[in-house]
């Protein structure tokens, strides 16, 4: 069997971390069947179309870059986008042969090509959705054309696979009846493993990793709590890893006078994220809204207890043995629970936290779940 991943987001030369969680899904599935991935992107620096073909961890990846077109030329944009997909698809066929099933990741706008493949070549597709845009609290709003397209794409899918039950509810509210099967995000449990490399046993090391986009991740709220925490105890430090708005957050750290407690590391490679997990004691995420954050899965695979907000699918990931939840924007609750967890860190069994993550989110577990879905959908399509 050969599956074609058709992602709306995927790592590329312009944005190396974009949709890396989708790439990990593809790698997980590649352990069970043949997998190709086709990604198309408008490149503002390109003067002509270019096709990049590489093998990555068992996945044949094709990236097509095409010249960016002005927004007001909507039809020309659409035509270039679809033509780029058609060009990339021919490269996929040349390497892989017949495609049995398309695995669309994120409805819009790669789903437009999934529709074409189904209508022209009768190739069924399933959809994995990750996007927080479907959540009521999200500030992202779809245009009428986008909503019309998303509904058409979703209603022609053989199966919808949101990564959380919370997102499933959001998709139902959007207008999709299903069928559904929730399949979570995946983590490399060999890279993210429990191995404490902490240097100072007398200092509790807190860790936050995100995009640092404040309306989403509420980094400013976390910094406010750290300021209050520093007024009652000094036996801790907070490391922040992320690549956006670092100057703004550094300025706020200086204003609050917590430079001795907080350090912004910036963006680091995936391998160093794993190393950072192993060097810390507790992971903190104070988001205003979320879906199923991969960074929490990575923390748990590393054996870290997690303190996070009860938004999106996070409550599906954390129980009393692996961490605590607080309401979004409740700085008082975050401060209180943070102090309790810091004082009770030895009550968390880090090996048990890791084993639970492995059973739910490992490449083998998630890859096998998708492969069983593929076999069922292909068989139904042939019947």
For residue range 22-57, list pLDDT tens digits in order. Answer: 999 999 999 999 999 999 999 998 899 999 999 999
pLDDT-derived band at 135, boundaries 50, 70, 90: confident
DSSP 243: S
C-alpha span between 59 and 34 (Å, rounded): 8
Interatomic CA distance for residues 117 and 288, integer angstroms: 38
pTM (two decimals): 0.88
Share the mean pLDDT of the chain: 94
> Is 168 or 199 the better-scoring residue by pLDDT?
168
Domain span at residue 135 reads 2-186+362-382
Q: How many domains does the chain have?
A: 2
With respect to residue 195, please indicate whether it lies within any of the assigned structural domains.
no
Q: Is residue 174 part of a domain?
A: yes
Domain shared by 218 and 157, yes or no? no
In a domain, 196, yes or no: no
Structure tokens at 164: 């959380």
Burial of 193 from C-beta contacts in 10 A (0-12 / 13-18 / 19+): middle
pLDDT, tens digit (0-9, with 9 covering 90-100), for 63-103: 999 998 887 788 888 899 999 999 999 999 999 999 999 99
Q: Which of 132, 101, 98 is nearest to 114 (CA)?
A: 101
| CA angle at 140 for the pair 136 and 143, rounded to the nearest 5° | 105
What pLDDT is recorded for position 137?
Answer: 77
For residue 191, what pLDDT band results from cuts at 50, 70 and 90? very high
Considering the domain boundaries, does residue 263 fall inside one? yes
Q: 261: pLDDT confidence band, cut at 50, 70 and 90? A: very high
Same domain, 175 and 318: no
Predicted pLDDT of residue 136: 78
Q: Are residues 323 and 366 in the same domain?
A: no
Residue 198, domain member (yes or no): no
pLDDT given at position 195: 83
Surface-to-core class of residue 267, CB atoms within 10 Å of its CB (0-12 exposed, 13-18 middle, 19+ buried)? middle
Q: Is residue 194 part of a domain?
A: no
Q: Is 193 domain-assigned?
A: no
Same domain? For 306 and 375 the reply is: no
Better-scored residue on pLDDT, 127 or 268? 127
pLDDT band at 198 (very low <50, low <70, confident <90, very high): confident
Query: Closest Cα partner for 311 from 282, 287, 340?
Result: 287
Dist CA 172 CA 131 (whole Å)? 14
Q: How many residues does this entry show for the chain?
A: 383
Q: Identify the pLDDT of residue 267.
A: 83
227 lies in some domain: yes
């Amino acid at each position: 069997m050969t599956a074609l991943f058709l992602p709306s987001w995927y790592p590329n030369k312009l944005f190396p971390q974009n949709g890396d969680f989708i790439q990990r899904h593809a790698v997980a599935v590649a352990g069970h069947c043949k997998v190709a991935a086709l990604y198309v992107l408008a490149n503002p620096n390109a003067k002509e179309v270019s096709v990049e073909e590489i093998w990555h961890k068992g996945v044949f990846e094709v990236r097509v870059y095409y010249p960016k077109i002005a927004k007001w030329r909507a039809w020309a944009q659409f035509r270039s986008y679809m033509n780029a997909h058609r060009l990339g698809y021919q490269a996929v066929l040349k390497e892989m042969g017949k495609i049995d099933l398309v695995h669309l990741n994120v409805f819009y706008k790669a789903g437009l090509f999934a529709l074409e493949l189904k209508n022209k070549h009768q190739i069924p597709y399933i959809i994995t959705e990750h996007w927080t845009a479907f959540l009521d609290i999200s500030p992202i709003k779809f245009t009428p054309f986008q909503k019309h397209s998303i509904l058409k794409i979703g209603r022609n899918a053989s199966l919808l696979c949101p990564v959380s039950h919370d997102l499933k509810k959001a998709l139902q509210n959007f207008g999709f009846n299903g069928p559904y099967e929730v399949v979570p995000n995946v983590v490399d449990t060999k890279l993210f493993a429990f191995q404490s490399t902490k240097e100072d046993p007398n200092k509790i090391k807190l860790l936050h990793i995100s995009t640092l986009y404040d309306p989403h991740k509420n980094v400013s709220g976390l910094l406010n709590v750290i300021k209050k925490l520093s007024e009652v105890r000094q036996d801790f430090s907070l490391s922040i890893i992320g690549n956006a708005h670092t100057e703004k957050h550094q300025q706020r750290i200086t204003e609050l006078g917590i430079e001795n407690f907080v350090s912004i590391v910036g963006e680091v490679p995936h391998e160093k994220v794993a190393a950072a997990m192993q060097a810390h004691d507790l992971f903190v995420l104070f988001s205003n809204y979320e879906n199923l954050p991969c960074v929490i899965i990575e923390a748990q695979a590393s054996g870290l207890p997690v303190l996070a907000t009860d938004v999106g699918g996070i409550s599906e990931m954390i129980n009393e043995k692996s961490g605590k939840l607080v309401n979004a924007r409740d700085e008082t609750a975050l401060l209180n629970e943070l102090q309790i967890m810091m004082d009770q860190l030895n009550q968390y069994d880090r090996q048990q936290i890791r084993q639970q993550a492995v059973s739910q989110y490992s490449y083998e577990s998630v890859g096998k779940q998708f492969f069983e879905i593929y076999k069922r959908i292909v068989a139904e399509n042939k019947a």
